[in-house]
Amino acid sequence: MGAPESEPDLIAAERVLGERIGLNPDSLGRGPIAQAVTARRKALGLAAGAYAGVLSGREDEPQALIEEVVVPESWFFRDRLPFEHLAMVLAPAWRDDPGRPPLRSLCLPCAGGEEPYSVVIALLDSGLPPGRFRVVAVDVSRRELDRARAATYRSHSFRGVDAAVRDRHFDRVGEAWRVASPARDLVDWQQGNLLDPALADRFGDFDVVFCRNLLIYFHDEARRRASAAFGRLVTPGGTLFVGHAEAGLPLGPAFLATGRPGTFAFLRSRDDPAGDGPPPRPGPPRRVDAPAPRPGARSATGGPRATRPATAPGRRTPPVTASGEAPGATDTVERAAELANQGAWEAATAMAGRLVSRSPSDPSAHVLLGAIAQGAGRSDLAEASFRRAVYLDGHRVDALLALAALAEAKGDRAAAANYRRRADRADRREVGS
């Protein structure tokens, strides 16, 4: 065991990380930051308490510290549904219109490359030829970019990936797999930082941006800067994908949830070309979706099938009476979500309450009631409902993330971070099952 880190060293490290990469120390806890300081101090041969001066005095040391703190965890087709949305909903517009300029996609942060290569593979398998799209992958870590360029991965990067997909796009190299051409040649790797105001000037804007599991580690000011960056990086009409723990965070007034459960996709409005207005204050979600089913059904590529919207395209929604209830409506999850999306909060809450009474041991019913209560501004009922869902099913990711958002809204960052950690563990458990 090394000597415990001094308070000045830790404070200096937290300050630099907050300034350079927007890190909120509470999102990680002091343990990982202290370990990073220890690693750098030992590498430099310094005694405890001497690192703060070196960190402020050496131009290259902040980046070295960042390399120690950034320890990404990813795998191919993580969360699956965003990639299915990309391949089945977005890509056909480019595939069916050869005269349209090539699709431009950005992955930031790209970590070790699993996500950008997943984007490439999803687009290729959708029938989009290599010349019809471009993927730019950006990360703050030089080390991770080197790993991504090597394009070689062990079995843990293929959790839940169908063997046919792996065999089609990877070559076996000993105990590992290397991305095969053409997928390996279709990513442009670049070092960069979302918080750098010049990022959009370097790369322009994109039709699709993946920025997942980054905002949860930012402090408030960094999140505001990130929202402004999204306004410049996502072209009007483009799509932004965020992580499941970030769907409730303010992304800016131009971004509207697509309503596709499990995709965490937001559409950039065509009516706000500037996209640089201040992000809205946190408030009720714009849309309530029926809770997605637990993973189980598999698609042809080995992942869960995309969940259909509660209302099928072209289907008429029954008219709502003055009481908020549609004539002849029955109590269903889909109908309750429809009522909520029409603004009939009282009727939606009542219907969700009846569904809970009918199935008190069903965590999905409690998640539905919680989502509607949250949209109606009844945070106490929402929190109680999500807590009940977690009591019934401790691995209920959507309920854990909702509780994290509610805790953050109350200013309880420690509780929010704890819920997100639990959600991440539950998410990994689902992937590994």
**Quick one: pLDDT at residue 100?**
94
Helix (H) or strand (E) holding 187: strand 187-191
38 vs 161: CA distance, rounded Å: 37
Instruction: List the beta bridge partners of residue 177.
Output: 153, 172
How far apart CA 246 and CA 252 sit, in angstroms, is 13
Backbone dihedral angles phi then psi of residue 266, each to the nearest 5 degrees:
-125, 130
pLDDT at position 289 is 56
Q: Which of 113, 16, 22 minimizes the C-alpha distance to 59?
A: 16
Sheet holding 265-268, edge to edge: 187-191, 133-139, 103-107, 206-210, 234-241, 265-268, 255-257
Q: How far apart are CA 109 and CA 211, in angstroms?
A: 6
Strands 206-210 and 103-107: parallel
| Spatial contact of 117 and 92, defined as CB atoms under 8 Å apart | no
Sign (positive or negative) of CA dihedral 350, 244, 394, 293: positive
- The confidence score (pLDDT) of residue 311 equals 28
Which amino acid would we find at residue 216? I
Other CB atoms within 10 A of residue 155 CB: 12
Which ranges of 177-312 does DSSP label H, i.e. alpha helix? 199-203, 220-233
**240 bridge partner residues:** 209, 266
Pick the closest to residue 207 from 236, 243, 250 (CA basis): 236
Which residues are CB-contacts of 212 (< 8 A; sequence separation ≥ 6)?
Answer: 78, 79, 82, 115, 241, 242, 243, 246, 264
- Digit-coded pLDDT (tens) for 374-400: 777 787 888 889 999 988 898 888 888
333 with 289: CB under 8 angstroms? no
pLDDT < 70: residue spans in the chain: 1-5, 271-329, 341-343, 428-433
Which pLDDT score is estimated for 27? 83
Q: DSSP alpha helices (H): ranges in 49-184?
A: 51-57, 61-69, 81-85, 91-95, 114-125, 142-150, 163-169
Q: What is the pTM of this model?
A: 0.68
Query: What distance in Å separates the CA atoms of residue 353 and residue 336, rounded to the nearest whole number?
Result: 10
Instruction: Check residue 302 and give its pLDDT.
Output: 34
Task: Let me know: does 247 contact 82? Beta carbons within 8 Å.
Answer: no
143 close to 103: Cβ distance less than 8 angstroms: no
What are 79-121's pLDDT values in tens digits? 889 999 999 999 999 999 999 999 999 999 999 999 999 999 9
